[in-house]
Amino acid sequence: MATRTSSRRIVVDAVALIGLVCSVASIIGAAVALALRPLLDVAGWLDLSAGALGVVAAAFWLWEARQARQRAALEARHSAAMAPAVQVVSEAAQNAQAVANVLASRAAGEDPLFALPLTGTARAFMQPKEGESPSRCQDFYSADPENGRYAVTDGVSSSFLPRPWASIIARAAVKVPEAFSSEASFAGWLKGCAASWQAWVTERWLPGIRAQQAQRGEVPADYAEMIQQKGAQTTLILCALAPGNGATQVDLIAVGDAVACHARPGAEGWELLAAFPIADPAHFGVQPATLPTRDSDAERERAWREVRRLTLAAQPGDRILLATDTLAEWLLRDPAERLGELDALTDDAAFVALLAREREQGHMKDDDMTVMIIPIG
């Protein structure tokens, strides 16, 4: 399209230039004729006047064409300058949650809410999606080794600020043993957790965002609906150990698709004895049950109905693995091989290498990944 417009301009300029040359030639011819026949040839005067008018018209035509080119160039530069800003605004409007997550990562800083806890003899590994920073990971884990309580959470990335919510739920789940003892206890516990999340958002996250917007001269955005109506969501897998005479009672509580696996070493490697609440890898991928921040009795009642429980007995040498959904799905597709690979992990570098290899080979989807490996003594 730009090439065709440029060609038309060249033709118009050429015609104007020819007109100008012809007009100048007409003036010169009329002047010569008048010099030879002064004041006697009216036609000569008419030729001279017509030539002068032609010069003026042609000059005006060329000047207008030049102005049009300048205006077009300015518009093109303006459009090019505005294009990135328009794209940013459009992307921000279409991906408000992604923007909020980025800002939340910046607001987190050295926030103690995101400090990873000690896990005792258990080993915990957590990594974000490939290419993202750890502060963007929506998973979390917590532990109270002295009391034998461990939790892994998986914040729903499409919800609003899920990372702090995943941290609050994981920490509160291990600190409050009675949280799941009755519906009333659960409702009070979940409501208190939601209040903690809202306090973090309003007291830490919002002031940081307001300060950034003020520095940029922006009108403060209204996040009330996102906080109150949309809110954050997370899944949970919780493990409580109660050592006994020779065996350890393992109480598992799940909301959603994070999974606990009970494994035992054998002569030919590790054996998967149980997986809860999902044992079939084909059953992942549906919308999981979640714990929400929304302050609604109906939401808390719904969440309570989604609580799943399992009690099993573990022997010394067994392992309890708590894993987020994508890692659990990968594990359940070949437990005999993959239980050993996870149990052999010694540090984060080994976990990162394992994830990179499995993703590259197409065995694992790209997602935030967390696993906690709890030895039974």
Give the domain CATH number at 197: 3.60.40.10
Q: What pLDDT is attached to residue 333?
A: 97
Q: What pLDDT is attached to residue 48?
A: 53
Q: Say whether both 58 and 155 belong to one domain.
A: no
Q: Say whether both 260 and 364 belong to one domain.
A: yes
Q: Which of 34-43, 54-63, 253-262 has the highest mean pLDDT?
A: 253-262
Which domain, by its residues, includes 293?
98-375
Q: Report the domain count for the chain.
A: 2
* HSE (side-chain half, CA atoms, 13 Å) at 118: 5
- Cross-strand partners of 270: 265
Q: Say whether both 194 and 53 belong to one domain.
A: no
Q: Say whether both 210 and 295 belong to one domain.
A: yes
Q: What pLDDT is attached to residue 317?
A: 96
Q: Say whether both 121 and 39 belong to one domain.
A: no
Last residue of a domain, one of 28, 60, 94: 94
Does 357 or 5 have the greater pLDDT score? 357
Last residue of a domain, one of 73, 94, 115: 94
246 band by pLDDT with thresholds 50, 70 and 90: confident
Last residue of a domain, one of 94, 120, 139: 94
Weakest mean pLDDT among 53-62, 124-133, 180-189, 296-305: 53-62
Exposure pattern of 46-74 as b/e (b: 16+ CB <10 Å)?
ebbeebeebbeebeebbeeeeeeeeeeee
Determine the Cα–Cα distance for residues 272 and 279; give it in Å rounded to an integer. Answer: 10
Residue 226 carries which DSSP code? I
Q: What pLDDT is attached to residue 263?
A: 98
Q: What pLDDT is attached to residue 220?
A: 85
Asked if residue 14 has pLDDT above 80, the reply is: no
286 band by pLDDT with thresholds 50, 70 and 90: confident
Q: Say whether both 222 and 246 belong to one domain.
A: yes
How is the chain split among helix, strand and coil, in percent rounded to 5? 55, 20, 25
Q: Say whether both 27 and 102 belong to one domain.
A: no
Asked if residue 345 has pLDDT above 50, the reply is: yes
Asked if residue 58 has pLDDT above 90, the reply is: no
Asked if residue 104 has pLDDT above 70, the reply is: no
Helix (H) or strand (E) holding 343: helix 335-343
Q: What is the mean pLDDT of residues 253-267?
A: 97
> DSSP alpha helices (H): ranges in 223-324?
224-225, 297-305
Residues 6+ apart with CB under 8 A from 130: 355, 356, 359, 366
Asked if residue 8 has pLDDT above 50, the reply is: no
Q: Say whether both 88 and 111 belong to one domain.
A: no
Determine the Cα–Cα distance for residues 309 and 237; give it in Å rounded to an integer. Answer: 10
Q: Say whether both 138 and 83 belong to one domain.
A: no
Q: Say whether both 108 and 212 belong to one domain.
A: yes
Asked if residue 76 has pLDDT above 50, the reply is: no
Does 70 or 120 have the greater pLDDT score? 120
Q: What pLDDT is attached to residue 103?
A: 47
Q: Say whether both 63 and 190 belong to one domain.
A: no
pTM more than 0.75: no
Residue 131 carries which DSSP code? T
Does 221 or 325 have the greater pLDDT score? 325
Q: Say whether both 122 and 88 belong to one domain.
A: no
